[in-house]
């Protein structure tokens, strides 16, 4: 019964009682963006721009970058596109940015922190995004990865707004989740990166197969941080998305919506299952599922409690 609904689901994302929750795609370039349009997604919730930079001997020019960004904007012609600025450094080193060997790369000069020593790289990337937006006649949202403080969010937002663009940040460092009210006050929206938020909350490398039970996004500690961010978003009337792979898990997606998350972005193949599951439950059921997950003390208990709540509303 459920399988048939999944196959037939064609969007847009909403709960069974009509609360809209945009279901979006994570993409990396023009070709993955064009491929994503074959799936029932309403836009792009995370455009990982680093692909254009990695493995390069030199920084791509503003022109070249604008062309790459434009391809994604054109693929989604007029629909929502959230562009993330460069998330490289450390374990994803840039050959044209020299930095010392770091003992703890995941805690090092990565993501938005590259702009500390190289503000011109971020400035040129924002120029390229603004140019692509103008040429495509689009209004992309622009967000920074690995933001850890309200001051970092404010600096980034000022540079984005100078170029007439909508400014946001990713919440993937626990400090940023804890201070979500102050961070949201600086920006127009936030998007929670549950992959890194889980890694940093649980102090467990997201690439470690041995630590997979710790890097499980069903960890209630992580969900409590998501709840903090979503509550701040609701209080300030600003969108709070999730763009980590947690958004690809249909039951966890219902929990995220129950916590107050307003959009879900993941690998586009996940959209039909997530959309169908969400459409089968009411917002009140999602809220009950969220409460059950927050009351659990480990991922297995959270999964079981949420399954019981969701199945009772089928
Ligand atoms: C995340 O950390 O959840 C995220 C979406 O960013 P990335 O997976 O690119 O680090
Ligand atoms: Mg991340």
ipTM score for this prediction: 0.99
Token representation of residue 208: 């470690």
If one residue of 46, 82, 85, 173 were mutated to test the ligand 1 pocket, choosing by the most ligand atoms within 8 A of its CB, it would be 46
285-300: b (≥16 Cβ within 10 Å) or e: bbbbbbbbbbebeebe
Rounded Cα distance, 217 and 56, in Å:
33
The pTM assigned to this predicted structure is 0.97
Q: Supply the residue whose CA is at minimum distance from atom 10 of ligand 1.
A: 196
Contact 154, 186 (CB under 8 A): yes
Instruction: Pick the atom of ligand 1 nearest to 87's CA.
Output: 9
The pLDDT assigned to 227 comes to 98
Q: Looking at the CA of 46, which ligand is closest?
A: 1
- Binding-site annotation: residue ranges for phosphoenolpyruvate: 48, 84, 195-196, 206
Q: Residue 46: CB within 6 Å of ligand 1?
A: yes
Residues with catalytic function: 243
Q: Residue 244: CB within 6 Å of ligand 1?
A: yes
| Strand segments (E) across the chain | 22-27, 43-48, 80-84, 141-144, 166-171, 189-192, 240-242, 263-266
Q: Supply the residue whose CA is at minimum distance from atom 8 of ligand 1.
A: 195
Q: Residue 241: CB within 6 Å of ligand 1?
A: no
HSE of 166 in the Cβ direction (CA atoms, 13 Å)? 14
Give, for all 314 residues of the chain, the pLDDT tens digit.
Answer: 566 678 789 999 999 999 999 999 999 999 999 999 999 999 999 999 999 898 899 999 999 999 999 999 999 998 999 999 999 876 788 888 867 678 888 898 899 999 988 999 999 999 999 999 999 999 999 999 999 999 999 999 999 999 999 999 999 999 999 999 999 999 999 999 999 999 999 999 999 999 999 999 999 999 999 999 999 999 999 999 999 999 999 999 999 999 999 999 999 999 999 999 999 999 999 999 999 999 999 999 999 999 999 998 76
A 10 A CB-CB count for 78 gives 12
Q: Residue 193: CB within 6 Å of ligand 1?
A: yes
If one residue of 32, 87, 105, 143 were mutated to test the ligand 1 pocket, choosing by the most ligand atoms within 8 A of its CB, it would be 87
Nearest to 270 by CA among 300, 242, 239: 242
Q: Residue 249: CB within 6 Å of ligand 1?
A: no
Q: Residue 195: CB within 6 Å of ligand 1?
A: yes
A 10 A CB-CB count for 218 gives 22
The pLDDT assigned to 2 comes to 67
Token representation of residue 81: 């596109």
The pLDDT assigned to 96 comes to 85
Q: Supply the residue whose CA is at minimum distance from atom 1 of ligand 1.
A: 193
Rounded Cα distance, 55 and 85, in Å:
17
Q: What are the residues whose beta carbon lies below 5 Å from ligand 2 (ion)?
A: 172, 193, 196
Rounded Cα distance, 119 and 124, in Å:
9
Contact 281, 310 (CB under 8 A): yes
Contact 136, 73 (CB under 8 A): yes
In degrees, to the nearest 5, what angle opens at C-alpha 105 toward C-alphas 102 and 106?
155
């Amino acid at each position: 019964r459920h399988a048939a609904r999944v196959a037939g689901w064609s969007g847009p994302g909403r709960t069974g009682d009509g609360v809209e929750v945009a279901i979006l795609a994570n993409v990396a370039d023009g070709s993955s963006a064009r491929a994503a349009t074959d799936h029932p997604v309403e836009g792009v919730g995370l455009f990982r721009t680093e692909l254009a930079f990695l493995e390069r001997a030199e920084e791509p020019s503003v022109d070249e970058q604008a062309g790459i960004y434009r391809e994604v904007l054109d693929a989604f012609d007029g629909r929502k596109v959230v562009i993330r600025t460069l998330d490289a450094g450390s374990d994803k080193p840039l050959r044209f940015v020299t930095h010392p060997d770091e003992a703890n790369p995941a805690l090092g000069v990565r993501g938005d922190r590259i702009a500390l020593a190289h503000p011109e790289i971020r400035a040129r990337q924002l120029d390229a995004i603004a140019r692509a937006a103008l040429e495509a006649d689009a209004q992309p949202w622009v967000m920074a990865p690995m933001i850890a403080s309200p001051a970092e969010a404010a600096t980034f937002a000022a540079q984005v707004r100078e170029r007439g663009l909508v400014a946001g940040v990713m919440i993937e460092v626990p400090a940023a989740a804890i201070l979500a009210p102050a961070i949201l006050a600086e920006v127009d929206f936030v998007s929670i990166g549950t992959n890194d938020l889980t890694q940093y909350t649980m102090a467990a490398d997201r690439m470690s197969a041995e630590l997979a039970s710790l890097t499980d996004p069903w960890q209630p500690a992580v969900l409590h941080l998501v709840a903090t961010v979503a509550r701040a978003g609701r209080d300030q009337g600003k969108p709070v998305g999730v763009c980590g792979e947690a958004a690809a898990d249909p039951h966890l997606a219902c929990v995220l919506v129950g916590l107050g998350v307003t959009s879900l972005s993941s690998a586009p193949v996940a959209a039909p299952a997530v959309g169908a599951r969400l459409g089968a439950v009411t917002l009140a059921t999602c809220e009950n599922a969220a409460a059950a997950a927050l009351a659990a003390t480990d991922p297995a208990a959270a999964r079981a409690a949420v399954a019981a709540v969701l199945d009772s509303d089928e």
